[in-house]
Structure 1
């Protein structure tokens, strides 16, 4: 077997001279540490740090969620609860005043009590839980340094909200059914009109419930956006 001498002139053409560079300094912007290899002004560092912080930690998504939940959803939920109580009082009044239709109103009272319990449970174990998780990682326009949220945690929050949405949707459909039966019965003069007194309350209750459903659906869309963003970064971290 013949051997060939190593040709250094041939290999030299693939060699590149690279100067050794040491990091000049590290600058911190909120929880992002930027290593600079040349002098960077504070203004330039703030612009870069702000862009990196926004991209890495989903500040915009979380801020939108917090704003929506605190400034809109919570108020709409409180209005719904207040109207449920008002409707409950109205039904209780008719149940005691009209003995022939009392059974129907008692059914409405049980229905409203179950719906009120569901809305209260969502407010405590759904919306407040989500707010707590958001506040744990976002406050004073920046993330908590020791807080880390992964896509599975966001997916869990999504499943919780979605479950409550399905339950609220069932009540919403049933309220529509009751209102439809009332409209049909109102056309028949030969039947006792037991639902005419509560028509306004049912119609308004449907409107308030629909607003709550729209709010919950928008929350789910934002959670999907957040989860997708986290999954993208997690896959990059896995392969990098």
Structure 2
């Protein structure tokens, strides 16, 4: 095999004339230790430590996600589940009291039961799962011992899970609109038994609550995508540095 030695003029570019010092000053900043080999005052070292801390643990985006989900999204999900349960109970009571329209109520009751299962599954295997992962990644002095790092692929997986739930919920949302439209059309038929008014109310409220849930999920997906993109950029920098 042929040998290709480096050109001396090329290698000189990487030589340093400064002597190496083995007496580096170390400055701890929270859980980061900064070794100072040059001139840097304490204020500059603290600023560097703060910057590194935020970049290493993605605290800003994780905190925004945690705050959004715990203080807003979870409450909206609980309200939606509660309303579905209430509507399910009342429609079941109406079906028992009105045998002539029981078959009509049966379809709505089964639909609400299925939708409630989906919302509960999203809460347990979507929203709560995401919260658990976020809490494991969030950095503070009390939780540093269990702090975990993630890569962009893990965030992409979280994104796909939440997005899949959003699509399923969106299908119910569209169907609720179709049912509400049919309710409006049949109200004009005076020859039929008028049992539609409170059903329309349930559907209209259900549509409003479901739309709120979808908007919340879309916001979460946007933030996860932002986090994933930031991680991909850092991973690319690490690859080429």
Secondary structure in 2 aligned to 1:35? strand
Deviations 1:172-206 (A, max 9, x none): 01111111100111112123333222121111111
- Distance of 1:97 and 1:197 partners within structure 2: 15
Secondary structure in 2 aligned to 1:190? coil
- Distance of 1:238 and 1:130 partners within structure 2: 28
- Distance of 1:213 and 1:142 partners within structure 2: 34
Deviation at 1:99, TM superposition (A): 1.1
CA contact (8 A) 1:137 1:143 kept: no
Deviation at 1:39, TM superposition (A): 5.4
Deviation at 1:45, TM superposition (A): 2.2
Matched ranges for 1:73-222 at <5 A: 73-140=73-140, 144=144, 147-222=148-223
- Distance of 2:63 and 2:16 partners within structure 1: 48
Deviations 1:89-141 (A, max 9, x none): 11011101111111111111111111110011011100111011111111437
Secondary structure in 2 aligned to 1:88? helix
Aligned residue-pair number: 229
Further displaced range: 144-153 or 114-123 = 144-153
CA contact (8 A) 2:57 2:149 kept: no
- Distance of 2:96 and 2:72 partners within structure 1: 37
- For normalisation by structure 2, the TM-score amounts to 0.87
Distance 1:141 1:172, change over 3 A: farther
CA contact (8 A) 2:73 2:213 kept: yes
Deviation at 1:24, TM superposition (A): 2.2
Larger radius of gyration: 1
Deviations 1:59-118 (A, max 9, x none): 111000011111111111000111011111110111011111111111111111111100
Q: Which residue of 1 aligns with 2:32?
A: 32
Secondary structure in 2 aligned to 1:27? strand
Distance 1:39 1:87, change over 3 A: same
Gaps of 5+ in 1: 1-12
Deviations 1:9-56 (A, max 9, x none): xxxx99987221425212222333322124544433222211222233
CA RMSD of aligned residues (A): 2.3
Distance 1:164 1:38, change over 3 A: same
Secondary structure in 1 aligned to 2:144? coil
Displaced runs of 4 or more, over 4 A = 13-17
Gaps of 5+ in 2: 1-11
